[in-house]
Amino acid sequence: MARPLIAGNWKMNTTQAEAVALASAIAAQAGQFERADLLVCPPYVYLSAVATAIGDAPVALGAQDAYHEPSGAFTGEISTGMLLDVGCRYVILGHSERRHTLGETNEIVNQKLKVALQSGLIPIVCVGELLEEREAGRTAAVIREQVTGSLAGLTTTDATRVVIAYEPVWAIGTGKVATPEQAAEVHADLRKLLAEEYNPEVAGEIRLLYGGSVKPDNASELLAQENVDGALIGGASLKADDFLAIAAAG
Ligand code: PEP
């Protein structure tokens, strides 16, 4: 199995001073986590300051989104080239808050994904069902639709560079975590789907993260599940001790 990836999504939180303090606290201890890769995704405006705070520590930098055009008249948008320019290696795409609050479709995520891959960024594509979809027994169908739509047209080589985060929407920021069995079931389905879409080797290389109320006290059980290759963490990534405790569990 790939080394677990422990990724923090800071969302629209922190001041610049808080972002720098958080990154510095994580960077100071990052050397201890030989068995996990660490990633922080601060707000765009703090990327450079956080990159400086991280320095040479083994913590990767990522952004929470990117636009699919390289430059030009797209007021307010940020390109993948700009993200690379300030030191990003990763970019989160299709987070449920963007899909459900800002109306991002699989087609938009797919456009962004292709551009991110072309530019050399590692994309983390988020998928996940709403509570009503789970209750209607539609979880597998929703995940299939989001994965095939968001990853449409990728070569097998490109597919191996994608990270997928399964984030049940009902578990994000709610404190309601998926049970390890629920996470394991969807992750097994994801691996099977990727083997059908590409081939078993490619499916085995794609890291599958779980996200949704991951905390220090539930992380080890979730991360111990087969096919769970890491975690995407919102709330708990805003406290260095909690984020590092989750990394230790990985
Ligand atoms: C997220 O933002 O992707 C997330 C999983 O948030 P939380 O850990 O707060 O549920």
pLDDT at 86 (0 to 100):
98
Instruction: Give the mean pLDDT of the chain.
Output: 96
* Paired sense of beta strands 163-166 and 122-127, if any: parallel
Residue 103 CA to ligand 1 centre (angstroms)? 18
Cβ 134 vs Cβ 170: under 8 Å: yes
Residue 250 CA to ligand 1 centre (angstroms)? 17
pLDDT at 99 (0 to 100):
97
Question: Does ligand 1 lie within 6 Å of residue 235's CB atom?
Answer: yes
Cβ 216 vs Cβ 231: under 8 Å: no
Q: Is 100 a catalytic residue?
A: no
Question: Does ligand 1 lie within 6 Å of residue 219's CB atom?
Answer: no
Residue 129 CA to ligand 1 centre (angstroms)? 14
Of 123, 122, 125, 119, residue with least CA distance to 70? 119
The whole-angstrom separation of Cα 200 and Cα 5 is 21
* 157: exposed, middle or buried (Cβ count in 10 Å: 0-12, 13-18, 19+): exposed
pLDDT at residue 1 greater than cutoff 70 = no
Indicate which atom in ligand 1 lies nearest the CA of residue 211.
5
Q: Taking residues 31-52, what's their average pLDDT?
A: 95
Question: Does ligand 1 lie within 6 Å of residue 250's CB atom?
Answer: no
Question: Does ligand 1 lie within 6 Å of residue 120's CB atom?
Answer: no
Q: Taking residues 65-71, what's their average pLDDT?
A: 96
Instruction: State pLDDT tens for residues 120-171.
Output: 999 999 999 999 999 999 999 999 999 999 999 999 999 999 999 999 999 9
Residue 23 CA to ligand 1 centre (angstroms)? 18
Exactly one of 68, 95, 104, 129 is catalytic; name it.
Answer: 95
Exactly one of 97, 129, 167, 187 is catalytic; name it.
Answer: 167
pLDDT at 118 (0 to 100):
97
5-249 classified as CATH 3.20.20.70: yes
Q: Where are the beta strands (DSSP E) in the chain?
A: 5-9, 37-41, 59-63, 90-93, 122-127, 163-166, 207-211, 230-233
pLDDT at 173 (0 to 100):
87
pTM of the prediction? 0.97
Amino acid at 223: L
Q: Is 167 a catalytic residue?
A: yes
Indicate which atom in ligand 1 lies nearest the CA of residue 236.
8
Bridge partner list, 6:
38, 231
* Paired sense of beta strands 5-9 and 37-41, if any: parallel
Instruction: State pLDDT tens for residues 189-198.
Output: 999 999 999 9
Question: Does ligand 1 lie within 6 Å of residue 176's CB atom?
Answer: no
Question: Does ligand 1 lie within 6 Å of residue 234's CB atom?
Answer: yes
Q: Taking residues 2-24, what's their average pLDDT?
A: 96
Cβ 168 vs Cβ 209: under 8 Å: no
pLDDT at residue 79 greater than cutoff 60 = yes
Q: φ and ψ at 20, to 5 degrees?
A: -65, -40
Instruction: State pLDDT tens for residues 114-128.
Output: 999 999 999 999 999
pLDDT at residue 3 greater than cutoff 60 = yes
pLDDT at 177 (0 to 100):
87
Burial 118-141 (b: 16+ CB within 10 A, else e): ebebbbbbbbbbbeebbeeeebee
Which residue lies with its CA nearest to atom 2 of ligand 1?
A: 234
